[in-house]
Amino acid sequence: MKVLIVEDEPKLAGFVKKGLEEQAWEVDVAYDGQMGSSLALSNPYDVIILDVNLPKVNGFQLATLLRNENIRTPILMLTALGTLGDKLAGFDAGADDYLVKPFEFQELIVRLRALQKRSSESGSVSNLLKIADLELDLNERVARRDGNRIELTAKEFGLLEYFMRNRGRVVSRVDIAEKVWDIHFDTGTNTIDVYVNFLRKKIDRDFPQKLIHTVVGMGYIMKDS
Ligand code: CA
């Protein structure tokens, strides 16, 4: 089980992390909402523990943002704000459960287990990456654009996954070679460009909105505008 804790109080974050690691869970910690969002968008977590009062992006905003990005990972809000209004705001934003501080650690474990169980029973779609009308299902290993299935080779799949996880960020050919091929290409080779062109033919050519863009002298960027 892989858990993301978004919590700006280092002491509490450390305590929860340590406790969960004792349950043999894998734990990442983000100390503000922005870091939380970039981790949650780029890693498949089983559960996210989310504080509400956070620097940069608060917990309600972050939950809303993740749901808008089609991240369905169960969210447990962990907060000192315990009024009914706060809870409703949390559920509205997309939280699945709510635990008020201070809490018993055992109760946290029970709630997390319940969330994880519920999500695995309902066939978790937390492994779905999405940009515009393009979807990449990491469980089924299938891409769809505008609902139409697109057949990809294993390399094309890996390349597309890398682009989608780094959407909005320029990635160089060297980055791609290292992260997708796991080797250090001679930067003179055009292998990367050849594969990017294969991928473009499949996911962009027949659509007015292009998602993979060339950044001259730097590499490529995947974005929807
Ligand atoms: Ca806080």
Which residues are bridge partners to 212 per DSSP?
Answer: 222
For the stretch 14-64, pLDDT in tens is 999 999 999 999 999 999 999 999 999 988 899 999 999 999 999 999 999
Question: Are residues 85 and 193 located together in one domain of the fold?
Answer: no
- Are 199 and 212 within 8 A, CB to CB? yes
Q: How far is the CA of 169 from the centre of ligand 1 (A)?
A: 29
Question: Are residues 171 and 211 located together in one domain of the fold?
Answer: yes
Q: How far is the CA of 53 from the centre of ligand 1 (A)?
A: 4
- Check pLDDT > 90 for residue 91: no
Question: Are residues 35 and 104 located together in one domain of the fold?
Answer: yes
Segment 82-86 shows an average pLDDT of: 79
Which residues are bridge partners to 2 per DSSP?
Answer: 26
∠190-179-187 over CA atoms, to 5°? 30
Q: What pLDDT is attached to residue 184?
A: 67
Distance of CA 47 to the CA centre of its chain: 11
Question: Are residues 154 and 51 located together in one domain of the fold?
Answer: no
The CATH number linked to 205 is 1.10.10.10
**51: CB partners within 8 A, 6+ apart:** 6, 7, 8, 9, 59, 77, 78, 79
Q: How far is the CA of 13 from the centre of ligand 1 (A)?
A: 10
Q: What pLDDT is attached to residue 85?
A: 81
Q: What pLDDT is attached to residue 40?
A: 94
For the stretch 203-213, pLDDT in tens is 999 999 999 99
- What's the CA dihedral at 19, 117, 69, 43 to 10 degrees? 50
Question: Are residues 166 and 183 located together in one domain of the fold?
Answer: yes
Q: How far is the CA of 83 from the centre of ligand 1 (A)?
A: 16
Question: Are residues 98 and 61 located together in one domain of the fold?
Answer: yes
Question: Are residues 60 and 39 located together in one domain of the fold?
Answer: yes
| Domain span including residue 193 | 128-222
Segment 144-155 shows an average pLDDT of: 90
Q: What pLDDT is attached to residue 126?
A: 57
Question: Are residues 98 and 18 located together in one domain of the fold?
Answer: yes
Question: Are residues 10 and 120 located together in one domain of the fold?
Answer: yes
Q: How far is the CA of 115 from the centre of ligand 1 (A)?
A: 22
Q: Last residue of a domain, which of 81, 102, 124? A: 124
For the stretch 159-186, pLDDT in tens is 999 999 898 999 998 888 888 877 666 6
In 3-state terms, what secondary structure has residue 98? strand
Number of domains in the chain: 2
The CATH number linked to 60 is 3.40.50.2300
| Percentage of residues of the chain with pLDDT beyond 90 | 58
- Check pLDDT > 60 for residue 157: yes
| More confident position, 110 or 81 | 110
For the stretch 132-149, pLDDT in tens is 999 998 877 889 999 999
Question: Are residues 87 and 150 located together in one domain of the fold?
Answer: no
Q: How far is the CA of 129 from the centre of ligand 1 (A)?
A: 28
Verdict on whether the full-model pTM lies above 0.75: no
| Percentage of residues of the chain with pLDDT beyond 70 | 94
Q: Last residue of a domain, which of 124, 140, 157? A: 124
Q: How far is the CA of 113 from the centre of ligand 1 (A)?
A: 23
Question: Are residues 28 and 79 located together in one domain of the fold?
Answer: yes
Q: How far is the CA of 76 from the centre of ligand 1 (A)?
A: 14
- Are 132 and 40 within 8 A, CB to CB? no
User: How high does pLDDT run on average in the chain?
Assistant: 89
Q: Give the DSSP letter string of 31-52.
A: SSHHHHHHHHHHS--SEEEE-S
Q: Last residue of a domain, which of 124, 156, 184? A: 124
Question: Are residues 120 and 44 located together in one domain of the fold?
Answer: yes
Omega of the bond leading into 102 within 30 degrees of 0 (cis): yes
- Check pLDDT > 90 for residue 128: no
Half-sphere exposure of residue 13: CA atoms within 13 angstroms, side-chain side: 19
- Are 50 and 73 within 8 A, CB to CB? no
Give the strand pairing for 212-215 and 142-145. unpaired
Q: How far is the CA of 89 from the centre of ligand 1 (A)?
A: 16
Residues at Cβ < 5 Å from ligand 1 ion: 8, 51, 53
